[in-house]
Chains A and B, each alone.
Chain A
């Protein structure tokens, strides 16, 4: 017994949907009664219905990721408020991997002399930023004032996290284990400088951490795991994923890469990598 044709499957589907006119429907009735291939196809299609309902309605929900929401907001604000950043299509925001690696290596090498971050040890998390060419990016990281921004949830989380001021940068650098290791070996300062010729969307996927409270919770989770004190944080990437690169003083690790879920309940430090 051969299966029915594709055209006939369409006709059978229309029949089950009730969109055939009476004459066409009567013809399908006749085929189902007289042709074993039609009868089987109809029986199979009818039997598959509940399974299809369950499979389709059971697909996971797809909430918009935070980085997409943040970029969309910026694009809308760019048009709504003339004078802000130029809109850049998402696909053109990808940094070539080679450029990222090179930029990261250069950045690590010059971090000590670049003067990108002044570390202080008093007060809470300052949110101070790199001074060389990342103003717009850092404004976004530190601002969080738009309608998509999330409200702080734990106002005192920051001070407990590091016990001192944490310098933040938002270089968008894409780190690897090797560049983390070089950062750990090289300095107790921020691991990367904004020396790249162009700075990608550093806050992509990390918008939640741009609030002091969320950042404080993340740093607290890191220091709870690794010990020591956080002294700098870079909104960047690790092997392509949004990551907060944190330099520690006196901890089991010197530099850690924490994922976007860092500090969330159940996520802990969401460590992607660490070097000691």
Chain B
């Protein structure tokens, strides 16, 4: 599991400003500071956007929108979270906005989908996992991407998504159960709702924190 390095490690080059210093420099008028901030974190932000949206062009658009929004709204950053938490929140929200805008498409019921035969982890499995991720409810998908793929701590993901830690755990667990079903490790559950599979993240128990 990948553990993100959120801040500049101490003991390194003393001249390297941390994220908050870069953001402050940007707010103070340094025209290069924000670009440096993005350069520092762009791969992780890109991975989240790409995995969430599953489309390169949409991810690029969402990330650009998000970074311009962050740049223009940087004077409103209060410093009560890490800069990366704030940046990730803006990127995730931009991605979710796009997903919700395109959700005129019908959802796919879990029970109607033939599971993919279970395999060991190989290149085919990578494709299978990506396809299965794309079929998760977006809130479960985002939580899984941040925690189980990108390796962020639950507490930080809770801060990014502005939900309780228990909600993050619930979304991840429910997403993993659905992935297991989609990938053939669990029997398809019996459908018992008029709107299948897309509303699972809203149950009251997941809000327990």
Contacts and interface: CB of A to CB of B under 8 A. Distances in A.
Contacts of B151: 57
B60 A58 contact: no
A10, A21, A72, A91 pick with most chain B CB within 10 angstroms: A10
A3 B68 contact: no
B23 to A, nearest CB: 13
A80 B51 contact: no
Interface in B162-201: 166, 169-170, 172-174, 176-181, 183, 185-193, 196-197, 200
Say which size band chain B's interface belongs to: 35 or more
B169 A19 contact: yes
Interface string B7-51: 000000000000000000010000110111011001101110011
B148 A20 contact: no
B129 to A, nearest CB: 5
Nearest to B126: A59
Interface residues of A, number: 61
B19 to A, nearest CB: 15
A79 interface: yes
Nearest to B128: A55
B170 A14 contact: yes
B180 A45 contact: yes
A75 B68 contact: yes
A62 B50 contact: yes
Interface of A: 2-14, 16-21, 24, 40-41, 44-45, 47-49, 51-65, 68-69, 71-73, 75-77, 79-81, 87, 89-91, 94, 146-148
Interface of B: 1-2, 26, 31-32, 34-36, 38-39, 42-43, 45-47, 50-51, 56-58, 60-61, 63-65, 67-68, 71-72, 110-111, 118, 121, 125-126, 129-130, 144, 148-149, 151, 166, 169-170, 172-174, 176-181, 183, 185-193, 196-197, 200, 203, 205-206, 208-209
Give the top 6 A-B pairs by smallest Cβ distance, nearest first: A17-B173, A48-B185, A64-B46, A13-B173, A48-B180, A13-B177
